Amino acid sequence: MDTALTKLQSWLGELDDLGETFQERFLKGRIDDLEGMEALLEQAADARYELERVRQALLLEKRLAELTDEKISTMSKEAEEIMTGEHTRERYHCSEAFVKIVGSYLFNGFGDEAQRMTTGLAGGVGGTHEEMCGALVGGVMCIGAMFGRARPTENDVPAYKVSAQYRNAFIEQMGGAKCHELRELGYGSGGLAPCGVLVGRAIPVFFNAICSRSDLFEEE
């Protein structure tokens, strides 16, 4: 077993024993150092936060290990379908569809609030066609969920590097990053290929960037 996992397993065993000890002291009314307990609770909250980061990293690694070309192809087709309404009553925009499909695979879906946050990003921000394509920004949002930070003391480099790698690969494959650039290349409702096709094509680009992320940190 990996050394880090062995260490974590040992620590969790110690934590379990500690929990039983405090439960017994609580039942017998022997927890009397309230000031000390308050400080301990703050440390426990920090430990819980770090454990959640470990849990998420392990689950994501498992998801990526189970990833196959067939699964990626299925996700691409599903994204296209929920944008066109084919075989379903759903009809999502580019940023919505990307986050919904990719997020469902990686995280078993995001909450409704997070999903709603993707709506205004569609169509180059609010349908203006002036800003970043929804398939690109949706991917960056998923990268943030995987490698980003919730506290300013955490490392922001992984999310920066992987986001930049996805952006560069997206531009190379699609021909541009902004919505109006892609429309000029033939994507969009009035173009040669609808936006659903673009989102479908972006999904394998995204997963390739994620799965090759180790190349970005070889020197570190």
CA distance 64 to 180: 32
- Residue that wins the pLDDT comparison between 95 and 216: 95
In a domain, 173, yes or no: yes
In a domain, 51, yes or no: no
In a domain, 20, yes or no: no
CA distance 185 to 176: 9
For the stretch 25-66, pLDDT in tens is: 777 777 777 667 777 778 888 888 888 999 999 999 999 999
User: What pLDDT does 121 receive?
Assistant: 96
Q: SS3 string of 6-30?
A: HHHHHHHHHHHHHHHHHHHHHHCCC
User: What's the total number of domains in the chain?
Assistant: 1
DSSP 63-126: HHHT--HHHHHHHHHHHHHHHHTTTSS----HHHHHHHHHHHHHHS---HHHHHTTGGGTTTTT
Taking residues 11-15, what's their average pLDDT? 76
User: What pLDDT does 86 receive?
Assistant: 60
Taking CA atoms, 183 is separated from 126, 129, 130, 171, 214, in Å, by: 15, 8, 11, 13, 33
In a domain, 57, yes or no: no
90 — pLDDT class (breaks 50, 70, 90): low
In a domain, 212, yes or no: yes
pTM of the model: 0.85
In a domain, 59, yes or no: no
User: What pLDDT does 29 receive?
Assistant: 75
User: What pLDDT does 17 receive?
Assistant: 75
- 171: domain range? 68-220
Residue 146: closest CA among 217, 82, 211:
211
For the stretch 95-145, pLDDT in tens is: 999 999 999 999 999 999 999 999 999 999 999 999 999 999 999 999 999
User: What pLDDT does 40 receive?
Assistant: 77
User: What pLDDT does 87 receive?
Assistant: 57
In a domain, 2, yes or no: no
CA distance 135 to 202: 7
User: What pLDDT does 112 receive?
Assistant: 94
| pLDDT above 90: residue 175 | yes
In a domain, 3, yes or no: no
